[in-house]
Structure 1
Amino acid sequence: MTAEQDVRASADPSASSAARAGILADRAGLVGLVARLVLGGVLLVAGWLKVTDLTGSVQSVMAYELFDYETSRLVGTFLPIIEIAVGLLLIVGLLTRGSAIVAGILMVVFIAGIVSAWSRGLSIDCGCFGTGGPVAPEDTAYLPEILRDLGLLAAAAWLTVRPRTPLSIDALLMKGR
């Protein structure tokens, strides 16, 4: 609280609760900003690393042994484009709630894919940040990958519930309303 807010709070108890609400809103906005930038940044980097090596991206999808080649080719080709688009929208803060929902769905799908590979005894690199595929069993990192994606899912959930964040195009567009 500023000194001015302290003076007002001591004179008027309702001002104190209003000041506390403002501080909490500022903290929630900061959490949202960090969530938006981290989630968007991760998706942008992951998508960029895949789109620069589409053959590797398709091979990563094939390694999960969930789809035939044609479906894996479609997923491996379009997933990086979706990741880049959603990542950019989150970073600039445009259509934040919708972008967060799509990002959350992606995280659920990624977690399910990793859990599926782990439970079936596959030894693969997830391909989350570029080319994945078969690795030695001791080189798998399923639990850290799942925990990372759960953290990103939490960020997506936060932004779905609280999409208004500072330094966003959404905030600029809503200012006049």
Structure 2
Amino acid sequence: MVTSARARWDLVQPWLGLAVRLGLAAVWFWAGSTKIGDLAAAGRAVNAYQIFPFDVARAIGAAQPFVEIALGVLLLLGLAIRLAAGISALLMLLFIAGISSAWIRGLAIDCGCFSEGGPLAVGQTPSYLPEILRDIGFLIMAAFLLRWPRSPFSIDRWMAGGQRLEDEDE
């Protein structure tokens, strides 16, 4: 019984990994593309969290879309999947912490994850819980890729000769 469950998992896992990898790549492309056209707005969105000095927030905001798009490219190609997943997980933890901090401190901001972000207009209510839950979902996707990085149609798998690596066997 255990053997057949393991065999089924061995058949499903690579294709699930492909779906997770491409899904997370799409998330990063979407997030980066919404910011890259207006780096000043991205800096203002980071500044709205009131965590960093303005110049630091501006620099983070300017760099963030490029990092997000680079992660999307790596995941789309299946290159350095474990590294991209690790950076993705770290960023998701930082985003969750930032959104939680804004919520705890009573800030009324748009997270800027898939938009220009920044302070909300008077009367608008922030949607922190759905944003945190969404980012937890993305964190789970990144964790999956950390554990099972190989998937079909990836450069990593091609470079490994299409074989499973020993660190994936358990």
**Is the TM-score greater than 0.5?**
yes
2:23 matches 1:38? yes
Distance 2:30 2:22 in 1: 12
Distance 1:43 1:32 in 2: 16
Name stretches of at least 5 consecutive residues in structure 2 with no aligned partner.
Answer: 164-170
Identify the match of residue 135 of structure 2 among 127, 143, 149.
Answer: 149
Residue of structure 2 equivalent to 1:166: 152
The AA in structure 1 aligned to 2:42 is: S
Residue of structure 2 equivalent to 1:140: 126
**SS of equivalent to 1:145:** helix
Residues 30 and 168 of structure 1: CA distance in aligned 2, closer, same or farther (over 3 Å): same
Cα deviation digits, residues 17-50 of structure 1 (max 9, x gap): 4x65443112111221111111111011101111
- Could you tell me whether the CA contact under 8 Å between 1:63 and 1:134 is conserved in 2? yes
Distance 2:123 2:110 in 1: 10
Percent of matched pairs sharing the same residue:
43
Residues 137 and 29 of structure 1: CA distance in aligned 2, closer, same or farther (over 3 Å): farther
**SS of equivalent to 1:66:** coil
**SS of equivalent to 1:118:** helix
Q: Shift of residue 137 of structure 1? A: 5.5
Larger Rg belongs to: 1
Name stretches of at least 5 consecutive residues in structure 1 with no aligned partner.
Answer: 1-12
The aligned runs of 1:118-133 (5 Å cut-off) are: 118-133=103-118
Count of matched residue positions in the alignment of Structure 1 and Structure 2? 162
Q: Shift of residue 130 of structure 1? A: 2.5
- Could you tell me whether the CA contact under 8 Å between 1:123 and 1:137 is conserved in 2? no
Residue of structure 2 equivalent to 1:81: 66
Cα deviation digits, residues 93-113 of structure 1 (max 9, x gap): 110000000000000000000
Pick the structure with more helix per residue. Answer: 1
Cα deviation digits, residues 76-122 of structure 1 (max 9, x gap): 01111111101110111110000000000000000000000000000
Residues 137 and 143 of structure 1: CA distance in aligned 2, closer, same or farther (over 3 Å): farther
Q: List 4+ stretches of structure 1 deviating above 6 A.
A: none
- Could you tell me whether the CA contact under 8 Å between 1:93 and 1:170 is conserved in 2? yes
Q: Shift of residue 139 of structure 1? A: 2.8
The aligned runs of 1:95-114 (5 Å cut-off) are: 95-114=80-99
The AA in structure 2 aligned to 1:156 is: A
- Could you tell me whether the CA contact under 8 Å between 1:56 and 1:130 is conserved in 2? no
Residue of structure 2 equivalent to 1:4: none
Identify the match of residue 24 of structure 1 among 9, 19, 24.
Answer: 9
Cα deviation digits, residues 126-162 of structure 1 (max 9, x gap): 0001301111464311011000000000000010011
The AA in structure 1 aligned to 2:60 is: V
